[in-house]
Chains A and B, each alone.
Chain A
């Protein structure tokens, strides 16, 4: 990781005594899609806001595109695109007016052409005069993405860009993100969805404001160190309930007609598998632990965060 777009160390932020981000270190390599995962209230939004200068960290340092995040937030803002979690363009402006306003903020040259192109790319050219507030959720997200990209930033910070968007729109959204990454744009994206996490090059998982794990996405499962068995057969529900009580089993997750049974303790899990295979009611097959299992495991072990409420 010689070339990085963002690098922060020791980032800390408290809100009324509660430590929302705690001593966070993170390096986002240039041109990568970096997935930022963690339960609600784990500090993802706060971290992203500190990276682009919207919040001042209590402690820590870092740089974004070579600019100091504490001193040079002005330059950072000119070179990044930030898409907020909640739709935060003007609902009482039209689609075109919104894009035009953002383009003016960045003092774009040949503004009209860029806005036209953005509308064209969005497929909204014929609805340019529609008020942004009347768009559906999915279209709002796409408009927001178009708006934060209009000045062609080198880094995109996307805060849960696909929350509440239908699957088709999500897929389109990710196609777009991959296309941008292909052009060399660095994308830091926070998400809840595991099917989105698997599309990232790198992943960091945080809970309680603390980073639990980060690295190349394909290496995450082995870093977590889970072993997994696939279980197929009849009456999976009853088996699932029984296995959950078994101390040798770390977690049971159902994927359609298959159970994924995993655990950190490989030997203990193997014993359970032998015992169950002997019953001949279900097929047990060993498989390499995937990202899905790894994340279910991580989430299960940071459950307490869900109760803490608020987006921070």
Chain B
């Protein structure tokens, strides 16, 4: 009763036929990644631009106007009007008509020239810190530039010792701060995890639910043959999804691919397999396709939230990082970002690989132990 290649192939062929006949599921396997890619890539931006801004101008000298121009051209601020009092500005912030109110004090330009370091007030609606963050970080640079450009000639001395606007923001690997550059590689981890886990989870429970499991296990088929035969067709699906993803990342989002293709290939294969094994494990627990779907979604949530896809991993508390480390997506996410954005080679991703490997070994062991050859 050893592993039979013939029976494994039989299960494989059967799965492919069933996959081909189930048009909608097949379409979803390709449609979901494209949809996600478009939504996450285009719609989600953690560094929003063109935020509505009001200005209270007590000084309308050239420097003040240069600052406003600078803010406008930075893309972060969309100057929509003038307020004449502090109350008016407060109200606008509170009711959301403005995200920022900029207050330029009286005699601003004169004080700059005299070296009095006047202050510009940027009142920001920071109730969504992520939305305001980028703009706040950009403001000092904008003002500095504006002032140094305005105060030239005899007044250069005043600009060269600029007021306390001296924040330097250096965005490495993503110089333009494009969210999609970061999100799109991470999205591969989420897309693969979502579809691979769900499809396999459902694939086995479906046999139980339709009663075909009884015929299947009344034949001499071995657990390993069923498991591999059911997993392999979806490896193929994972390849198609990855292909679609890479093409879209390149064509639609201009995401670079700087690192070693081999490292990427090894990494995504390992990742596909670990997700399929997880799906298989779920299907040995779930009693119905509905339950399998629910458990899959249950695993999806930490994958999105704790893997570092949505929020920076380093910013999470220790316990959350501990949970995150047990999620395959966490390591694959790092791997993909390293390879695509930082030009990593095999040696650079070794740690991520063996961590995924450990998770996989644990899952496969539990899954094989749980798969029943009886109806007990």
Residues of chain A within 8 A (CB-CB) of B9 are 104
Interface residues of B in 1-53 (CB under 8 A from A): 1, 4, 6-7, 9-10, 13-14, 17-18, 21-22
Contact present for B217 and A54 (CB under 8 Å): yes
Count of chain A residues with a beta carbon within 8 Å of a chain B beta carbon: 28
User: What CA separation (Å) do A84 and B218 show in the bound complex?
Assistant: 9
Contact present for A105 and B210 (CB under 8 Å): no
Residues of chain B within 8 A (CB-CB) of A56 are 374, 376
Does B129 make an interface contact (CB < 8 A)?
no
Does B153 make an interface contact (CB < 8 A)?
no
Q: Which of A73, A87, A93 contacts B14 (CB 8 A)?
A: A93
Does A101 make an interface contact (CB < 8 A)?
yes
Could you list 20 further interchain pairs (A-B, Cβ under 8 angstroms) beyond the known A84-B211, A84-B214, A92-B22?
Answer: A56-B374, A73-B373, A77-B219, A77-B220, A78-B220, A82-B215, A84-B218, A86-B211, A88-B213, A88-B214, A89-B215, A90-B14, A91-B210, A93-B17, A97-B17, A102-B219, A104-B6, A105-B216, A105-B221, A107-B6
Residues of chain B within 8 A (CB-CB) of A89 are 212, 215
Give the residue among A54, A73, A97, A147 with the most B Cβ atoms within 10 A: A54
Does A182 make an interface contact (CB < 8 A)?
no
Does A74 make an interface contact (CB < 8 A)?
yes
Does A291 make an interface contact (CB < 8 A)?
no
Q: How many A-B residue pairs have CB under 8 A?
A: 73
Complex: chain B residue closest to A78, CB-CB: B220
30 chain-A/chain-B pairs, Cβ below 8 angstroms:
A52-B218, A53-B374, A54-B214, A54-B218, A54-B375, A56-B376, A77-B219, A82-B215, A84-B211, A84-B214, A84-B215, A84-B218, A86-B214, A88-B211, A88-B214, A88-B215, A89-B212, A89-B215, A90-B14, A90-B18, A92-B21, A97-B14, A101-B10, A101-B14, A102-B215, A104-B7, A105-B7, A105-B219, A105-B221, A107-B6
Residues of chain B within 8 A (CB-CB) of A104 are 6-7, 9-10, 13
Contact present for A82 and B218 (CB under 8 Å): yes
Q: Which of B14, B17, B374 contacts A54 (CB 8 A)?
A: B374
Interface residues of A in 96-110 (CB under 8 A from B): 97, 101-102, 104-107
B134 shortest CB reach to chain A, Å: 51
Residues of chain A within 8 A (CB-CB) of B14 are 90, 93, 97, 101
Q: Contacts A55-B375, A84-B214, A90-B14: A106 and B1 contacting too (C-beta < 8 A)?
A: no
User: What CA separation (Å) do A182 and B8 show in the bound complex?
Assistant: 35
Does A49 make an interface contact (CB < 8 A)?
yes
Residues of chain A within 8 A (CB-CB) of B214 are 54, 84, 86, 88
Complex: chain A residue closest to B14, CB-CB: A101
B131 shortest CB reach to chain A, Å: 49
Complex: chain A residue closest to B375, CB-CB: A54
Please report B residues at the A interface, Cβ cutoff 8 Å.
Answer: 1, 4, 6-7, 9-10, 13-14, 17-18, 21-22, 210-221, 373-376
Q: Contacts A56-B376, A74-B1, A84-B214: A92 and B18 contacting too (C-beta < 8 A)?
A: yes
Residues of chain B within 8 A (CB-CB) of A90 are 14, 18, 212
Interface residues of A in 71-130 (CB under 8 A from B): 73-74, 77-78, 82, 84, 86-93, 97, 101-102, 104-107
Residues of chain B within 8 A (CB-CB) of A87 are 211
A73 shortest CB reach to chain B, Å: 8
Complex: chain B residue closest to A49, CB-CB: B375
User: What CA separation (Å) do A53 and B221 show in the bound complex?
Assistant: 13
User: What CA separation (Å) do A107 and B7 show in the bound complex?
Assistant: 7
User: What CA separation (Å) do A101 and B22 show in the bound complex?
Assistant: 18
Residues of chain A within 8 A (CB-CB) of B220 are 74, 77-78, 105-106
Residues of chain B within 8 A (CB-CB) of A73 are 373
Complex: chain A residue closest to B10, CB-CB: A104
Please report A residues at the B interface, Cβ cutoff 8 Å.
Answer: 49, 52-56, 73-74, 77-78, 82, 84, 86-93, 97, 101-102, 104-107, 147
B16 shortest CB reach to chain A, Å: 11
A95 shortest CB reach to chain B, Å: 13
Contact present for A93 and B211 (CB under 8 Å): no
Residues of chain B within 8 A (CB-CB) of A74 are 1, 220
Residues of chain A within 8 A (CB-CB) of B376 are 55-56
4 nearest A-B residue pairs (beta carbon): A104-B10, A105-B219, A82-B218, A88-B215
Complex: chain A residue closest to B22, CB-CB: A92
Q: Contacts A54-B375, A55-B376, A107-B4: A93 and B18 contacting too (C-beta < 8 A)?
A: yes
Residues of chain B within 8 A (CB-CB) of A77 are 218-220
User: What CA separation (Å) do A82 and B220 show in the bound complex?
Assistant: 12
User: What CA separation (Å) do A193 and B220 show in the bound complex?
Assistant: 31
User: What CA separation (Å) do A93 and B21 show in the bound complex?
Assistant: 8
User: What CA separation (Å) do A101 and B376 show in the bound complex?
Assistant: 25
Contact present for B374 and A88 (CB under 8 Å): no
User: What CA separation (Å) do A69 and B17 show in the bound complex?
Assistant: 34
User: What CA separation (Å) do A88 and B14 show in the bound complex?
Assistant: 15
Complex: chain A residue closest to B215, CB-CB: A88
Residues of chain B within 8 A (CB-CB) of A107 are 4, 6-7
Complex: chain A residue closest to B20, CB-CB: A92
User: What CA separation (Å) do A147 and B146 show in the bound complex?
Assistant: 83
User: What CA separation (Å) do A49 and B220 show in the bound complex?
Assistant: 14
User: What CA separation (Å) do A82 and B216 show in the bound complex?
Assistant: 10
User: What CA separation (Å) do A52 and B219 show in the bound complex?
Assistant: 10
User: What CA separation (Å) do A34 and B10 show in the bound complex?
Assistant: 33
Residues of chain B within 8 A (CB-CB) of A52 are 218
User: What CA separation (Å) do A277 and B373 show in the bound complex?
Assistant: 63
Residues of chain B within 8 A (CB-CB) of A147 are 215
User: What CA separation (Å) do A192 and B142 show in the bound complex?
Assistant: 88
